[in-house]
Amino acid sequence: MKNLVLISKMLPDDYIGFTFFVGCMAMMAASAFFFLSLNQFDKKWRTSVLVSGLITFIAAVHYFYMKEYWAVVGESPTFFRYVDWILTVPLMCVEFYLILKVAGAKTDLLWKMIALSVIMLVTGYLGETVFSESAALWGGISGIAYFIIVYEIWLGSASKLATAAGGNVLKSHKILCWFVLVGWAIYPLGYMLGTDGWYTSILGKGSVDIAYNIADAINKIGFGLVIYNLAVQSQKE
């Protein structure tokens, strides 16, 4: 039987390991926060806050594995990373759908967003692993799916529903739109730092993991807090 590693050394210059560790703790704390707040919400908002907690909780578990993987194997935990994303990004689409339900959002919108995010992530995974010699091509296909998501929420049917809903929902939808446009854009940047393509001569090489870890903290915890705040504000009224 192989050795079971329970704890591994953290070197003081292991900045990547540090962001994995802090990421793990931050996701755990955020999950505790969302779950423990559930009782203060009535049924209408509880599901949304629960989903915020599930997103950070799923990430916390994956970060627990990823920090160990990094410490023991010393490589990017690409597989765990994408399993995390394929579970959590569709849940973020669910959040959009849940808050827009008041304006009559249909499950078509939900499935369309989920399908686009799956295409975005599967093609990105292929570009980072199986077909890494054509990473730019796969990243480009992934980028198209990403732009359609951005279009859908900023200008497409999701934005029309948000306008129809008005008030707090519209305000929160707008903030979430910014998360997707700016916060999510860190991921393709990380991808370009970690793979070889036409962009390598411009950007050089860097750590995918630092980019992805920072992006995850901003997007998963920040996104969840926007939903939490929407629930608090709406319930006050």
Ligand X SMILES: *C/C=C(C)/C=C/C=C(C)/C=C/C1=C(C)CCCC1(C)C
187 binds ligand X (CB under 6 A): yes
220 binds ligand X (CB under 6 A): yes
Identify whether the C-beta of residue 30 lies closer than 8 Å to the C-beta of residue 220.
Answer: yes
Cβ atoms of 46 and 235 closer than 8 Å:
no
* Size (the chain), residues: 237
> Where does this chain touch ligand X (CB under 6 A) — which range of 21-29, 44-52, 95-103, 183-191?
183-191
Task: Name residues contacting ligand X, limited to 84-123 (CB under 6 A).
Answer: 85, 88-89, 120-121
Q: Closest CB to ligand X among 54 and 71?
A: 54
Task: Give 170 or 189: the residue with its C-beta nearer to ligand X.
Answer: 189
**In which residue are the tokens 């992530």 written?**
121
Confirm or reject binding of residue 124 to ligand X (CB under 6 A): yes
CB within 8 A of 15, min separation 6: which ones?
A: 207, 210
Contacts of 11 (CB under 8 A, 6+ apart): 17
Nearest to 209 by CA among 21, 9, 32: 21
For ligand X, the closer of residues 101 and 220 by Cβ is 220
Q: Which residues bind ligand X (CB under 6 A)?
A: 85, 88-89, 120-121, 124, 139, 142-143, 146, 184, 187-188, 191, 216, 219-220
